[in-house]
Structure 1
Protein backbone atom coordinates (compact mmCIF):
# COMPACT_ATOMS: atom_id res chain seq x y z
CA UNK A 1 0.00 0.00 0.00
CA UNK A 2 1.24 3.48 -0.80
CA UNK A 3 1.88 6.17 1.78
CA UNK A 4 -1.05 8.16 0.36
CA UNK A 5 -3.40 5.18 0.77
CA UNK A 6 -2.23 4.61 4.35
CA UNK A 7 -2.70 8.29 5.19
CA UNK A 8 -6.19 8.23 3.69
CA UNK A 9 -7.14 5.12 5.69
CA UNK A 10 -5.88 6.72 8.92
CA UNK A 11 -7.92 9.87 8.27
CA UNK A 12 -11.01 7.83 7.43
CA UNK A 13 -10.58 5.75 10.58
CA UNK A 14 -10.19 8.90 12.71
CA UNK A 15 -13.32 10.40 11.14
CA UNK A 16 -15.33 7.25 11.87
CA UNK A 17 -14.17 7.21 15.49
CA UNK A 18 -15.13 10.87 15.86
CA UNK A 19 -18.58 10.30 14.35
CA UNK A 20 -19.19 7.25 16.54
CA UNK A 21 -18.13 9.06 19.71
CA UNK A 22 -20.38 12.04 18.92
CA UNK A 23 -23.34 9.71 18.46
CA UNK A 24 -22.60 7.95 21.75
CA UNK A 25 -22.26 11.24 23.60
CA UNK A 26 -25.57 12.59 22.32
CA UNK A 27 -27.31 9.31 23.07
CA UNK A 28 -26.14 9.63 26.68
CA UNK A 29 -27.82 13.06 26.97
CA UNK A 30 -31.16 11.31 27.23
CA UNK A 31 -32.95 9.98 30.31
CA UNK A 32 -33.39 6.65 28.54
CA UNK A 33 -31.41 3.96 30.33
CA UNK A 34 -30.76 2.48 33.76
CA UNK A 35 -30.44 4.72 36.82
CA UNK A 36 -29.71 4.38 40.51
CA UNK A 37 -32.06 6.51 42.57
CA UNK A 38 -30.38 7.94 45.65
CA UNK A 39 -31.98 8.61 49.05
CA UNK A 40 -31.97 12.36 49.73
CA UNK A 41 -31.27 11.97 53.43
CA UNK A 42 -28.81 9.07 53.64
CA UNK A 43 -27.13 9.15 50.23
CA UNK A 44 -27.84 5.40 49.98
CA UNK A 45 -28.75 3.82 46.65
CA UNK A 46 -32.49 3.05 46.83
CA UNK A 47 -33.39 1.34 43.59
CA UNK A 48 -32.62 0.65 39.98
CA UNK A 49 -34.95 2.59 37.69
CA UNK A 50 -35.27 1.71 34.00
CA UNK A 51 -36.45 4.54 31.74
CA UNK A 52 -37.64 3.67 28.23
CA UNK A 53 -38.80 5.69 25.23
CA UNK A 54 -42.11 4.65 23.71
CA UNK A 55 -42.62 6.74 20.57
CA UNK A 56 -41.16 9.90 22.10
CA UNK A 57 -42.91 9.45 25.45
CA UNK A 58 -40.87 8.28 28.43
CA UNK A 59 -41.91 5.76 31.02
CA UNK A 60 -39.89 4.46 33.92
CA UNK A 61 -40.23 1.53 36.28
CA UNK A 62 -38.57 0.19 39.38
CA UNK A 63 -36.44 -2.77 38.29
CA UNK A 64 -34.70 -3.59 41.59
CA UNK A 65 -34.92 -2.49 45.21
CA UNK A 66 -31.35 -1.98 46.39
CA UNK A 67 -31.58 -0.81 50.00
CA UNK A 68 -30.12 -3.41 52.30
CA UNK A 69 -33.39 -3.60 54.30
CA UNK A 70 -35.73 -3.46 51.27
CA UNK A 71 -38.74 -5.78 51.26
CA UNK A 72 -38.60 -7.30 47.77
CA UNK A 73 -42.28 -8.23 48.05
CA UNK A 74 -43.46 -4.73 49.05
CA UNK A 75 -46.50 -3.24 47.34
CA UNK A 76 -47.58 0.35 46.80
CA UNK A 77 -50.00 0.65 49.71
CA UNK A 78 -50.16 4.43 49.48
CA UNK A 79 -50.98 4.57 45.74
CA UNK A 80 -54.52 5.63 44.88
CA UNK A 81 -54.70 4.86 41.15
CA UNK A 82 -54.21 1.72 39.05
CA UNK A 83 -50.94 1.08 40.90
CA UNK A 84 -52.59 0.61 44.30
CA UNK A 85 -51.38 -2.60 45.96
CA UNK A 86 -49.16 -3.44 42.96
CA UNK A 87 -45.65 -4.78 43.66
CA UNK A 88 -42.93 -2.13 43.79
CA UNK A 89 -40.78 -4.33 41.55
CA UNK A 90 -41.90 -3.46 38.03
CA UNK A 91 -44.00 -0.51 39.22
CA UNK A 92 -44.24 2.28 36.66
CA UNK A 93 -43.24 5.48 38.47
CA UNK A 94 -42.60 7.74 35.45
CA UNK A 95 -45.33 8.40 32.90
CA UNK A 96 -45.75 10.75 29.96
CA UNK A 97 -42.58 12.88 29.86
CA UNK A 98 -41.63 14.32 26.47
CA UNK A 99 -38.57 16.17 25.30
CA UNK A 100 -38.89 19.94 25.21
CA UNK A 101 -38.25 21.04 21.63
CA UNK A 102 -34.67 22.17 21.13
CA UNK A 103 -33.61 21.32 24.70
CA UNK A 104 -32.14 18.38 26.57
CA UNK A 105 -35.04 18.49 29.05
CA UNK A 106 -38.05 16.19 29.36
CA UNK A 107 -41.30 17.50 30.88
CA UNK A 108 -45.05 17.09 30.81
CA UNK A 109 -45.13 13.80 32.64
CA UNK A 110 -45.67 12.64 36.18
CA UNK A 111 -43.51 10.85 38.71
CA UNK A 112 -44.88 8.74 41.53
CA UNK A 113 -43.31 8.59 44.97
CA UNK A 114 -44.30 5.07 46.05
CA UNK A 115 -43.44 5.89 49.67
CA UNK A 116 -46.33 8.35 49.96
CA UNK A 117 -48.42 7.49 46.89
CA UNK A 118 -48.31 11.06 45.55
CA UNK A 119 -47.75 12.00 41.93
CA UNK A 120 -45.72 15.04 41.03
CA UNK A 121 -45.19 17.05 37.85
CA UNK A 122 -41.95 15.80 36.35
CA UNK A 123 -38.87 17.40 34.83
CA UNK A 124 -35.86 15.29 33.76
CA UNK A 125 -32.55 16.94 32.91
CA UNK A 126 -29.43 14.93 32.02
CA UNK A 127 -26.30 16.55 33.48
CA UNK A 128 -22.56 15.88 33.50
CA UNK A 129 -22.62 14.53 29.96
CA UNK A 130 -25.53 12.22 30.75
CA UNK A 131 -23.80 10.51 33.67
CA UNK A 132 -26.38 11.93 36.07
CA UNK A 133 -30.04 12.83 35.83
CA UNK A 134 -31.72 15.64 37.71
CA UNK A 135 -35.21 14.41 38.55
CA UNK A 136 -37.52 17.20 39.71
CA UNK A 137 -40.95 16.47 41.10
CA UNK A 138 -43.20 19.38 41.98
CA UNK A 139 -46.69 20.44 42.91
CA UNK A 140 -47.35 24.09 42.07
CA UNK A 141 -44.23 25.97 43.23
CA UNK A 142 -43.14 23.35 45.75
CA UNK A 143 -40.88 20.47 44.85
CA UNK A 144 -37.59 18.79 45.20
CA UNK A 145 -34.83 17.60 42.91
CA UNK A 146 -33.03 14.30 43.21
CA UNK A 147 -29.89 13.39 41.30
CA UNK A 148 -29.84 9.87 39.91
CA UNK A 149 -26.69 8.17 38.64
CA UNK A 150 -26.52 6.32 35.32
CA UNK A 151 -25.74 2.62 35.58
CA UNK A 152 -23.44 1.52 32.76
Structure 2
Protein backbone atom coordinates (compact mmCIF):
# COMPACT_ATOMS: atom_id res chain seq x y z
CA UNK A 1 0.00 0.00 0.00
CA UNK A 2 2.82 2.43 0.90
CA UNK A 3 4.57 1.63 -2.40
CA UNK A 4 1.37 2.39 -4.34
CA UNK A 5 0.90 5.75 -2.62
CA UNK A 6 4.57 6.64 -3.15
CA UNK A 7 4.39 5.65 -6.83
CA UNK A 8 1.22 7.68 -7.33
CA UNK A 9 2.75 10.73 -5.61
CA UNK A 10 5.91 10.43 -7.72
CA UNK A 11 3.87 10.16 -10.92
CA UNK A 12 1.80 13.23 -10.01
CA UNK A 13 5.00 15.18 -9.26
CA UNK A 14 6.48 14.18 -12.63
CA UNK A 15 3.33 15.30 -14.48
CA UNK A 16 3.36 18.65 -12.63
CA UNK A 17 7.03 19.25 -13.44
CA UNK A 18 6.47 18.35 -17.12
CA UNK A 19 3.46 20.67 -17.33
CA UNK A 20 5.70 23.59 -16.29
CA UNK A 21 8.37 22.91 -18.90
CA UNK A 22 8.34 24.08 -22.49
CA UNK A 23 10.09 20.86 -23.53
CA UNK A 24 8.01 18.28 -25.36
CA UNK A 25 5.54 18.16 -28.23
CA UNK A 26 3.36 21.14 -29.14
CA UNK A 27 0.51 21.62 -31.62
CA UNK A 28 1.17 24.72 -33.68
CA UNK A 29 -1.83 26.90 -34.50
CA UNK A 30 -1.76 29.49 -37.28
CA UNK A 31 -2.72 32.82 -35.68
CA UNK A 32 -4.25 34.06 -38.95
CA UNK A 33 -6.44 31.04 -39.84
CA UNK A 34 -6.81 29.22 -36.50
CA UNK A 35 -5.75 26.02 -38.27
CA UNK A 36 -3.67 23.45 -36.38
CA UNK A 37 -0.67 22.98 -38.66
CA UNK A 38 1.90 20.65 -37.13
CA UNK A 39 3.42 19.00 -34.10
CA UNK A 40 6.76 20.53 -33.09
CA UNK A 41 9.08 18.92 -30.55
CA UNK A 42 10.92 21.42 -28.36
CA UNK A 43 14.14 19.94 -27.00
CA UNK A 44 17.26 21.12 -25.22
CA UNK A 45 20.71 20.82 -26.72
CA UNK A 46 23.83 22.41 -25.17
CA UNK A 47 21.70 24.60 -22.91
CA UNK A 48 19.60 26.01 -25.77
CA UNK A 49 16.08 25.16 -26.96
CA UNK A 50 15.38 23.93 -30.48
CA UNK A 51 12.16 22.91 -32.19
CA UNK A 52 11.78 20.24 -34.85
CA UNK A 53 8.67 19.53 -36.95
CA UNK A 54 7.60 15.98 -36.03
CA UNK A 55 4.34 15.86 -37.92
CA UNK A 56 2.58 17.90 -40.61
CA UNK A 57 -1.16 17.63 -39.92
CA UNK A 58 -2.49 18.63 -43.36
CA UNK A 59 -2.45 15.43 -45.42
CA UNK A 60 -1.95 17.45 -48.63
CA UNK A 61 1.26 19.00 -47.25
CA UNK A 62 3.07 15.85 -46.06
CA UNK A 63 5.73 16.26 -48.75
CA UNK A 64 5.88 20.07 -48.61
CA UNK A 65 9.29 21.66 -48.92
CA UNK A 66 10.53 25.06 -47.85
CA UNK A 67 10.75 26.45 -51.38
CA UNK A 68 10.87 30.07 -50.18
CA UNK A 69 13.67 29.41 -47.69
CA UNK A 70 17.24 30.48 -48.30
CA UNK A 71 20.49 28.72 -47.51
CA UNK A 72 20.69 25.11 -46.33
CA UNK A 73 16.89 24.85 -45.75
CA UNK A 74 15.98 25.78 -49.34
CA UNK A 75 13.82 23.05 -50.94
CA UNK A 76 14.16 20.77 -47.88
CA UNK A 77 11.21 18.86 -46.44
CA UNK A 78 9.36 20.78 -43.73
CA UNK A 79 8.75 17.47 -41.95
CA UNK A 80 11.85 16.94 -39.81
CA UNK A 81 13.06 20.53 -40.20
CA UNK A 82 14.38 22.44 -37.19
CA UNK A 83 12.35 25.68 -37.15
CA UNK A 84 13.17 27.00 -33.65
CA UNK A 85 16.86 27.56 -32.92
CA UNK A 86 19.12 28.85 -30.17
CA UNK A 87 16.56 29.90 -27.56
CA UNK A 88 18.11 30.79 -24.19
CA UNK A 89 16.29 30.94 -20.86
CA UNK A 90 15.98 34.45 -19.37
CA UNK A 91 13.75 34.35 -16.29
CA UNK A 92 10.41 32.83 -17.29
CA UNK A 93 11.02 33.37 -21.01
CA UNK A 94 13.22 31.96 -23.73
CA UNK A 95 14.85 34.57 -25.99
CA UNK A 96 17.72 35.38 -28.34
CA UNK A 97 16.87 32.62 -30.79
CA UNK A 98 15.02 32.44 -34.07
CA UNK A 99 11.90 30.87 -35.54
CA UNK A 100 11.34 30.01 -39.19
CA UNK A 101 7.99 30.35 -40.94
CA UNK A 102 8.48 27.61 -43.56
CA UNK A 103 5.49 28.73 -45.65
CA UNK A 104 6.92 32.22 -46.10
CA UNK A 105 10.58 31.20 -45.92
CA UNK A 106 11.19 33.96 -43.38
CA UNK A 107 13.21 33.74 -40.19
CA UNK A 108 12.32 35.94 -37.23
CA UNK A 109 13.78 36.75 -33.83
CA UNK A 110 11.79 34.78 -31.29
CA UNK A 111 10.54 34.84 -27.73
CA UNK A 112 8.73 31.91 -26.07
CA UNK A 113 6.96 31.70 -22.72
CA UNK A 114 4.38 29.52 -21.01
CA UNK A 115 0.99 31.12 -20.54
CA UNK A 116 0.59 32.35 -16.98
CA UNK A 117 -2.90 30.86 -16.58
CA UNK A 118 -2.51 27.67 -18.65
CA UNK A 119 0.81 25.80 -18.56
CA UNK A 120 -0.35 23.70 -21.54
CA UNK A 121 -0.41 26.84 -23.70
CA UNK A 122 2.80 28.24 -25.13
CA UNK A 123 3.10 31.80 -26.44
CA UNK A 124 5.46 31.94 -29.41
CA UNK A 125 6.32 35.41 -30.70
CA UNK A 126 8.22 36.10 -33.90
CA UNK A 127 9.36 39.67 -34.45
CA UNK A 128 11.42 42.10 -36.47
CA UNK A 129 12.30 45.25 -34.52
CA UNK A 130 9.03 46.39 -32.89
CA UNK A 131 6.70 44.49 -35.29
CA UNK A 132 5.60 41.09 -34.01
CA UNK A 133 3.14 38.23 -34.31
CA UNK A 134 2.27 35.87 -31.48
CA UNK A 135 0.96 32.35 -31.94
CA UNK A 136 -0.45 30.09 -29.26
CA UNK A 137 0.78 26.51 -29.32
CA UNK A 138 -0.87 23.81 -27.23
CA UNK A 139 0.77 20.86 -25.51
CA UNK A 140 0.22 17.76 -27.65
CA UNK A 141 -1.08 14.96 -25.49
CA UNK A 142 -1.37 11.78 -27.55
> Does the pair score TM above 0.5?
yes
Confirm or deny: 8 A CA contact 1:44 1:67 kept in the other structure.
no
SS state of the match for residue 37, structure 1?
strand
Per-residue Cα deviation, 1:49-99 (whole angstroms, up to 9, x for no partner): 11111132111111111125x321111001112111110110110000011
For normalisation by structure 1, the TM-score amounts to 0.81
1:92 matched to 2:113? The reply is: no
- Worse-superposed segment, 122-131 or 24-33: 24-33
* Structure 2: gaps spanning 5 or more residues: none
| Partner residue, 1:24 | 15
Confirm or deny: 8 A CA contact 1:60 1:92 kept in the other structure.
yes
| Partner residue, 1:3 | none
Alignment of structure 1 residues 1-152 onto 2, 5 Å: 13=5, 17=9, 21-68=12-59, 70-100=60-90, 103-127=91-115, 128-152=117-141
For normalisation by structure 2, the TM-score amounts to 0.86
Aligned residues: 140
Confirm or deny: 8 A CA contact 2:31 2:134 kept in the other structure.
no
What is the CA-CA distance between 1:25 and the residue it aligns to? Answer: 2.2
SS state of the match for residue 89, structure 1?
coil
Confirm or deny: 8 A CA contact 1:76 1:86 kept in the other structure.
yes
Cα-Cα RMSD: 2.3
Q: Larger radius of gyration, structure 1 or 2?
A: 1
SS state of the match for residue 109, structure 1?
strand
Give distance in 2, aligned partners of 1:67 and 1:40: 16
Give distance in 2, aligned partners of 1:129 and 1:24: 14
